[in-house]
Amino acid sequence: MTRRSVPATGAATAAALSTTGTADAAPGRCAAPPEPMPVRLEVNGRMRALSLDPRTTLLDALREHLGLTGTKKGCDHGQCGACTVIVGGRRINSCLTLAVMHDGDQVTTIEGLGAPDDLHPMQKAFVVHDGYQCGYCTPGQICSAVAMLDEIERGVPSHVTADLMQVAFSDDEVRERMSGNICRCAAYPNIVAAIRDVAGRGEKA
């Protein structure tokens, strides 16, 4: 076989595949999209009925279909935490899960935690302690912090918990548990201070 014969061989192979019916699809044609599926989500205390492409992420359902743009799309790979929301009391990266997987679930976004005239204690603490700079990661940081304090209260241990039978609040616990939420502005000391403030005042997160 010479170099000149390789392209011809490749073309012949492609032609053979198309005639035997083993090729995925004809050139220039795309597979039809899947049929939309009904999805019901209880978002911020309100039941919402949607009809979604089953490939739609929970993040895109919230942002593009419900207009809740407080939840941010950062890396879209589950690495930055900007899309963190609370589902059934647990924090998750909404970019890594499909909306159809949460049919009937309770979803809380940053909009559901508080309003400008009635801020959640964690939102107030972030303002007081300047726990944000550009603010892009802040909704995810706050949702994560709220759920994280609940984890400690329920006795869920982390990788830095010394006594698995006695989970207690500490700055080390906060840093470890919040490590999935990235702040490119590096406001981490202020974020820890804000969370410590809420935990110290014993306000329900």
Inter-residue contact 116 to 127 (CB < 8 Å):
no
Q: Are residues 193 and 165 in the same domain?
A: yes
List the structure tokens of 20. Answer: 């035997």
Q: Which domain holds residue 47?
A: 37-112
Provide the sign of the torsion angle of the four alpha carbons 159, 156, 196, 193, taken in this order.
Answer: positive
Q: What is the pLDDT of residue 118?
A: 94
- What is the pLDDT confidence band of residue 25, given thresholds at 50, 70 and 90? low
Q: What is the pLDDT of residues 8-23, one digit of tens each?
A: 545 554 454 444 444 4
Is residue 22 one of the residues assigned to a domain? Answer: no
Is the CB of residue 193 less than 8 Å from the CB of residue 129?
Answer: yes
Measured CA angle at 68 (ends 176, 147), to 5 deg: 25
Query: Is 136 found in the same domain as 63?
Result: no
Q: Is the CB of residue 109 less than 8 Å from the CB of residue 103?
A: no
Residue with tokens 């170099």: 3
> Looking at residue 56, which CATH number applies to its domain?
3.10.20.30
The answer to whether residues 83 and 119 belong to one domain is no
Q: Does residue 11 sit within a domain? A: no
Binning pLDDT at 50, 70 and 90, where does residue 33 land? confident
For residue 18, is it within any domain?
no
pLDDT in tens, 129-172: 999 999 999 999 999 999 999 999 999 999 999 999 999 999 99
The residues, any chain, with a CB within 8 Å of residue 5's CB and separated by 6 or more, are none
Q: pLDDT (tens digit, 9 = 90+) per residue, 182-191?
A: 999 999 999 9
Shared domain for 85 and 100, answered yes or no, is yes
